Amino acid sequence: MDRPIQSQYSIKVETPSLTERLYRRLLDSLKDVYNPGDKFPSERDVARRFGVSRPTAARAMARLMDEGLIESRRGAGRFVRRPPLDYDLSSLVSFTSRCRSEGVKPTTEVLEFTPPGLGNIPDEAIRELQLLPGEGTYHFTRRRFADGRPVILERRWLAARFCPGLAKADVAGSLYDLLKERYALAPAGARQVIRSVILEGKDRTLFWEDEVGAAFEIMATGYLEGGVPLWYERTLYQGSTYEFHNRLGPLSTARPAVSVLRIAKESK
């Protein structure tokens, strides 16, 4: 009669580490106790509540941050992160309507507004808008908020000949709705360049929640039907808040890339 084969090796079952057990308990509390946007306990509070050391609490909370479940806001503590906002690369969608579709309250702060004839128009805006001598733009800088969080810093130049009588108060809401309802303008699309940047100086302070300082910068030209340029923008999207979605077509043969040579200029 055959005897069962006995292994000369014992199987060691590893128990979860203290950090792992704490992480799982914190994960459960995120699901059962907290809602997106709620303030999360500090390392000291977690250590005291669960009877662990602060280094253990710090490691467990660092894992939650790495997985995008909580976020740190400078000077305010840690908060349960909200789901990222979707930026659809396939069509123009206003920030206002996007927020409302996701149950988020949008607000806008107009930081600067310069009417035609005042201020200097950058060369790239003149070129992209195909401005003739004497033609001007409305230039405005807006900070956009989602449920009170600053998520977008937008600098836009709008060809003045299409929008007579525009005032600062007019751009405190949806620009697309304004163009459609007051001026009967229907943007037909835009050409965009997207790159990652590290926020510095004033731009960084306007995104006070982002400790890392990473953002997406979008340089875009918006067009009316027939390829007539309407606006040029350089807009920053907070890196921890946005996801860019696109749908790819079938496999195709590579084509030569269209590139733009960018020469860094020394800051003055």
> What is the tally of structural domains in the chain?
2
Could you tell me if 155 and 44 lie in one domain?
A: no
Could you tell me if 202 and 143 lie in one domain?
A: yes
Higher local confidence (pLDDT), 103 or 54: 54
Residue 2 maps to a domain: no
Are 158 and 138 spatial neighbours (Cβ–Cβ below 8 Å)?
Answer: yes
pLDDT more than 90, % of the chain: 28
What is the per-residue pLDDT across 204-231, written as a single tens digit (0 to 9) for each? 877 765 555 788 898 999 999 889 999 9
Count Cβ atoms within 10 A of the Cβ of residue 147 and give its class: 0-12 exposed, 13-18 middle, 19 or more buried. middle
Are 214 and 199 spatial neighbours (Cβ–Cβ below 8 Å)?
Answer: yes
What is the per-residue pLDDT across 155-187, written as a single tens digit (0 to 9) for each? 999 999 999 999 999 999 889 899 999 999 988
Token representation of residue 132: 């003739």
CATH code, domain carrying 224: 3.40.1410.10
State the Cα–Cα distance between residues 40 and 61, nearest whole angstrom.
10
| Mean pLDDT, residues 187-197 taken together | 88
Q: Which domain holds residue 120?
A: 85-245
What is the per-residue pLDDT across 27-76, written as a single tens digit (0 to 9) for each? 888 877 887 778 888 889 999 988 999 999 999 888 888 777 787 777 77
Could you tell me if 171 and 52 lie in one domain?
A: no
Could you tell me if 71 and 188 lie in one domain?
A: no
CATH code, domain carrying 62: 1.10.10.10
| Mean pLDDT, residues 258-262 taken together | 42
Could you tell me if 113 and 233 lie in one domain?
A: yes
Full-model pTM? 0.64
pLDDT for 209 equals 53
